[in-house]
Every structure is written in structure tokens, then in C-alpha cells.
Amino acid sequence: MKKICALLLTIVLLATQCLALAENAGTVNTNNLKVGNPNPMQGYFFTDMWGNSTSDMDVRALLHGYNLVYWDGANGLFAVDPSVVSGAAVVDDEEGNRSFILVLADDLFYSDGSKITAWDYAFSYLLSMSPEIAEIGGTPRHSGFLKGYQEYMDGTAKALAGVHVMSDDTLTITVDHSYLPFFYEMGLLLCNPYPIKVIAPGVAVKDDGDGVYLANERANVQEPVFTAELLQKTILDPNTGYMSHPSVVSGPYRLTSWDGQTANFAINTYYKGNAYGDVPVIPTLTYTLAEYGTMIDQLEAGEFGLLNKVMRADEIMNGINRMNGSEFAMSNYPRAGLSYIGFACEKETVSSQAVRQAIAWCLDRDQTTADYTSNFGMRVDGYYGLGQWMYGILAGTTPPPVNPPENEFDTAGQAAYEKALEDYEALSLDGLTVYTADTEKAAALLDEDGWTLNEEGIREKDGVKLDLKLIYSEETNINEVFEKNLIPNLETVGIKLTMEPVGINDLLGFWYKKEEAREADMIFLATNFDIVFDPAVSFETGEDGKKAWANTNLQDETLYSEALAMRQTQPGDVLSYMQHWISFQERFNEVLPMIPIYSNIYFDFYTNALHDYPVSESMSWAEAIVGASLQ
């Protein structure tokens, strides 16, 4: 199975890459690159605390830079960004708390020319965890890894002990010993600087020796100025708020305009470069919605210079078939994410594991994948994507991180090497149930769980009918696929399903629980994973003290403990991490807070004039465009 998956994936990647041939481009505008994406932007250009669509993520990568650490893909680990941090040290105290002392480079500036200091990073930590964020509709980050976090949040400590500003250029971040070990340890330092003068004017970050805290900028003035009312204006104002119109930024580009569909950018002349020394070259960028059905025509006509994350099979084939002799090229890369049906498990209709499994047995996921992605996707049976490094090791497309002994006569070293290879070879996802269309299994599960057919032919239990509603984005045609591969099987076993298209804002609002009571039972959605794959952070503690998978409200202590086991793996112990990752996938596959459907290959089509564009599963177009040029 492992070798077959690897072969199929390799064929898709290599065969399509071989087609990326085109003639020399004609005259092009080298001052502007127009980028199209089939996923519309929502205008969440500040943080992911209000939502995390892939298009908004790309905009944030353009605007906000100078993260303390970066993902070193060549070595598969996080490291301090040498363009940001000029010196670093790690110190453990007697309790086992681990402090990272970071000295910042002295040539970091925002786009308005103001200097970036350690106080800006401290402000980012304090802002992201503040309860005022929740008051204005965001989801504050749980930063429980920081020493003193809980005491600061519950008000028993004035300052956050886990963050110290030693001087304008020196920052200390202390990870609480209870959070260690953590597999992606350096990833805990991920932090962009944000300008306090723009987001919280009148507020200052202070450190009296016990950690950082927010206070009135004016000395000896006690009344609070850091309030929800202030942030409502500075962040969420539709015309000037930092969310949709960030005016002072730290990334390679700055935003020049945003009208609700199209964003324009110009080079941030104060940006010194990323971890690889790359600086932006293309003077201006335009980013907007590209619609399926016309996007390839527009690319060929020169109306777009780059189409990013094309994933619908008909459009991919349209692009491939028209490349011969055209003036555009192509790249493709596996998606580090998946598409799925998510459940609102707080609803009685789908709170039962048996019901969720029965619905899974009614969905022909193989045919759904084939119909929707053609040969450019693959069914997945858990919470993973083809582009994740863990899947790559299992599939054989990524070699396991073990090396043979340097000395060929080292028999003990050779034996250890061979044993390590055997341990990796033994890893598999064969323990996952492959839910296929089987209405007999679905009906048996419902019978056993007490759901009987009423006079309408609909399953009912204790007055609750399985008359379900699924919402999906009005910009997809997934309804056509589900009407063929899901709804008839549901009807056979006595489940009624109504599908309703909604706007993307309403869709995400449902998923992120912006409404008090969710009307729909299910949602078709997709997600892309962060490099720090830590599903434990997605659990919330309810009023009953139980952990629930955040957006689904599924309570399952075993799933949470498996997620914790992943997190608590020693850094560098890849084998143990993957063993825990597989255990997590097996439990996820059993309790089904979501029905995973497919992961796929993304395609980028672009003008031949675009050079040095290394887009990949670990580098978005917004990251790859830094250093790229139009010639």
C-alpha cells in the first residue's frame, strides 16, 4: 500500500511537471504581477484570530514579516531567523523552565521607517492572548506554554512572567516546564512584531522586572486605555482598521488598497530580507479572485500573471491542454491539508458516534474524490494531507531521518541503522477504517443505536429526527457530487439531507461558532495545516471541564490524550512522534468529528516571464514571490 501510494503521487507530480514547457514570453509588464486565486479573501489581513482562509494567510505573509523563527525545510526544523535574531542563548532554571534569550538585529524597521524593538514582540504576545480580543469577536490565542500565563490571565499576577524585555534589542521568552518536552519546541517562538502606536495608541508595554504587562502610556495615570472599545475602532473599523487596512507593516510588501475583492501591494522599501536573504523584486502586486471557467482564458490573455492553488480538475486539465505553445508555465505541489465534512456535535442529530459513522458509510469517498479532483487528488482516511512530512515518510516520498554509519566497518552502527529503517517501515495507516459506500453497515449501526424508521421513512430516536442540513460554499459545485455519491445512500438508510449553499463569510462564521446556536448539522469545508501540527491546541475546555474538539464540540478524552502525546514527544524523536501521530489518526478515524474526504495536488499556472518562483507544499505563493522577478 505504501509503495502504491508513493508511486501514484510521484506519477502525478512528475508527469505534470514534465508538461511545464512553454515558449519564451512576449512583452510583459515587469512592474506588476496580477495574482488570481479561486478562494476569495475575507479581509482578515492582521491575524488568524478571526478566521484563517488560505487567501488571507497569503496576504498576511506578504504584510507581516520578521518572525523570530522560520521553518528550515532543508533540515526539517524551526530555527531562529538570522535576519531578525543576531544572537540567541538557551537557559534552563532549577524547575526546568526553559528561557530563550534573543538579541534582535539593529536594522529592523516598519514600513513607515519606525524602528522595531523587543517591545513590539512583547506587545504581540500580550495582544494575542488578551480577553479584549474575545470581546470584539476574535479567538484569543491560548499561550499556556508561557511561564506565568494562567496567573496573568486570571489576574493573580500583574505581569506575564514568560516574556521579559531586557532592553530595546533583547527579549527573553520562558517556556513553562509543564509544557516540555514539545516536539516543535522552537516553533513556540513564532511571533511577528506589531506596531502598538497603530493598534493601541495611548498604551505602553512595561516590564518592572517580573514580566511584561500593558499600561497607560502616561505615567501615574491609572484608568485603563487598553479596552475592547479601543480595539474595535483600531482593528475592526471597515475603512481604517488594522484588520483589513494594516497601514504600518513589517513584511516584504505593504498594502496600498483593498476594496473587498482586490488587494494591491507595493514593495516595503524598509524590508531588509528574509532568512534566505531574499528581498522583493517585483514592484507591485495585485491579488484578486479568479473564477473557474474563465481563469485560464484570462491567464492566456495576459489578464493574470499567476493563478495560485487551482484545484478543480476540469480547470487543471484545461490549463495543461493549452500549455503547448503558450506563454505560461506550471508548478504543482501536494496539499498539506484536506477537504472534509465537519459535524456540529453539540446537536442531538449528530452527537452520536454511530450516526456519524453511518453517514460515513453512506459517502462514496473514492468516487467523490474522482469526480471532484479527477487524477489530482487522493482519498484520505484521517486528519492529514498529502503534503505533510509525516505522510511523506509513510508513503515513501520522503526518506526517514536516519543515516548509515560513516564507517563501513561499524557493525553496531549498521545494525542500529537497519533496525531504525525497520521501525520506520513498520509504520502504516493500515489500522484506519476505510469508510466506503455500504448502506447495510450504515443501517446496522443506526438500528443498534436505537434509530427507527418513522412513517415518513426517516430515522427517529427520542423525538429527534435525522432530517439533516449540510451547508457548503456557494462558490463550489460539491453539491452535484454529493447528490450523486451521498444523498441517495442516506435516503436508503432513512436519513434526509438538505444541502444549502452559503457565502464564505457565513460558512466560516458557522465553523468558528460565531452564532450562538448553529442551525446546520454538517459543513463541507477544507483546511490547510500549519507546519507546527499540534491538534491539542484545537481542544477547548467546556463548562463541564471536559475537552472538546473546538469547532466540532466533540468531547473525547482519548483523542485529546493522543494529541497531547504527539506534542510531548522529545524534539528530534521523529519515530515516536509518528507513532503517536498514527495513534491519533486511528482514534480520529473511529470517533469522526469530521469525515475526511480527500487531499489533492495544487497547481499554479503563471506567465513565462515569472522567474525564481519556488512555490511548494511548505512555501506559499506569497513566500515564494519574495526574490522572484518578472523578465
DSSP 183: T
- Show the CA angle centred on residue 292, arms to residues 290 and 293, nearest 5°: 120
Residue 118: alpha-carbon gap to chain centroid = 27
For residue 76, give the nearest of 534, 472, 388 by alpha carbon. 388
Q: Which residue type sits at 587?
A: R
Confidence (pLDDT) at 543: 80
What b/e readout covers 583-612, taking b as 16+ CB neighbours within 10 angstroms?
A: bbbbbbbebbbbbbbbbbbbbbbbbbbbee
d(CA 586, CA 390): 15
Strand partners, 547: 541
The three cell numbers of residue 503 are 457565502
3-state secondary structure 141-164: CCCCCECCHHHHHCCCCCCECCEE
d(CA 577, CA 183): 8
Peptide bond between residue 181 and the one before it cis (omega within 30 degrees of 0): yes
Peptide bond between residue 246 and the one before it cis (omega within 30 degrees of 0): no
Strand partners, 501: 472
The helix/strand/coil state of 540 is: strand
The three cell numbers of residue 94 are 532549577
The answer to whether 525 and 518 are in contact (CB under 8 A) is: no
Confidence (pLDDT) at 22: 42
Confidence (pLDDT) at 325: 67
Q: Which residue type sits at 245?
A: H
* Close Cβ partners of 601 (under 8 Å, ≥ 6 residues apart): 12, 13, 16, 311, 332, 333, 334, 335, 376, 377, 386
The helix/strand/coil state of 562 is: helix
What Rg value do the Cα atoms of the chain yield, rounded? 25
* Residue given cell 484563517 in the structure block: 52
Report CA torsion sign: 460, 461, 465, 469. Answer: negative
The answer to whether 143 and 129 are in contact (CB under 8 A) is: yes
Confidence (pLDDT) at 323: 81
What number of other Cβ atoms are within 10 A of residue 561's Cβ? 15
For the sheet containing 554-555, what is the strand order? 539-541, 547-549, 554-555
Strand partners, 566: none
How would you classify residue 396: left for phi > 0, otherwise alpha for psi between -120 and 50, otherwise beta?
left
For residue 272, give the nearest of 38, 65, 503, 45 by alpha carbon. 65
Instruction: Say if residue 96 is exposed, middle or buried (CB neighbours under 10 Å; 0-12, 13-18, 19+).
Output: exposed
The three cell numbers of residue 125 are 504576545
Confidence (pLDDT) at 439: 98
Q: Decide the pairing of beta strands 69-72 and 77-80.
A: antiparallel
Confidence (pLDDT) at 18: 43
* Close Cβ partners of 180 (under 8 Å, ≥ 6 residues apart): 96, 98
Confidence (pLDDT) at 27: 64
The answer to whether 99 and 173 are in contact (CB under 8 A) is: yes
The answer to whether 196 and 205 are in contact (CB under 8 A) is: yes
Angle between helices 557-567 and 574-591 (to 10 degrees): 160
d(CA 320, CA 441): 41
Q: Which residue type sits at 298?
A: Q
* Close Cβ partners of 147 (under 8 Å, ≥ 6 residues apart): 97, 161, 162, 174, 175, 176
The answer to whether 502 and 448 are in contact (CB under 8 A) is: no
Residue 603: alpha-carbon gap to chain centroid = 18
Q: Domains in the chain, ordered, with CATH?
A: 2-42+250-333+602-630 (3.40.190.10), 66-235 (3.90.76.10), 337-350+372-433+463-600 (3.10.105.10)
The answer to whether 477 and 528 are in contact (CB under 8 A) is: no
pLDDT, tens digit, for every residue of 611-629? Answer: 999 998 888 999 999 999 9
d(CA 354, CA 359): 9
What b/e readout covers 311-320, taking b as 16+ CB neighbours within 10 angstroms?
A: bbbebbebbb
For residue 55, give the nearest of 79, 38, 74, 76 by alpha carbon. 38
Q: Decide the pairing of beta strands 377-379 and 306-310.
A: unpaired
The helix/strand/coil state of 593 is: coil
d(CA 291, CA 558): 42
Q: Decide the pairing of beta strands 629-630 and 610-611.
A: antiparallel
DSSP 98: E
Confidence (pLDDT) at 614: 93
The answer to whether 86 and 105 are in contact (CB under 8 A) is: yes
Confidence (pLDDT) at 19: 44
Confidence (pLDDT) at 441: 98
How would you classify residue 147: left for phi > 0, otherwise alpha for psi between -120 and 50, otherwise beta?
beta
Q: In residues, how long is the chain?
A: 631
pLDDT, tens digit, for every residue of 10-52? Answer: 445 444 444 444 444 456 789 999 999 998 999 999 999 988 8
Q: pTM of the prediction?
A: 0.89
Compute mean pLDDT per 10 residues along the chain, 631 residues long, and list them.
47 45 58 95 93 91 97 83 97 97 98 98 97 93 94 96 98 97 95 97 96 89 84 96 97 97 98 96 98 93 95 88 82 94 97 98 96 91 96 91 89 93 96 98 98 96 97 91 97 98 89 87 93 90 87 95 96 94 98 97 95 90 96 90
**Which whole-number Å values give the CA distances from 304 to 30, 313, 601, in the listed order?**
13, 20, 21
* Residue given cell 477504517 in the structure block: 433
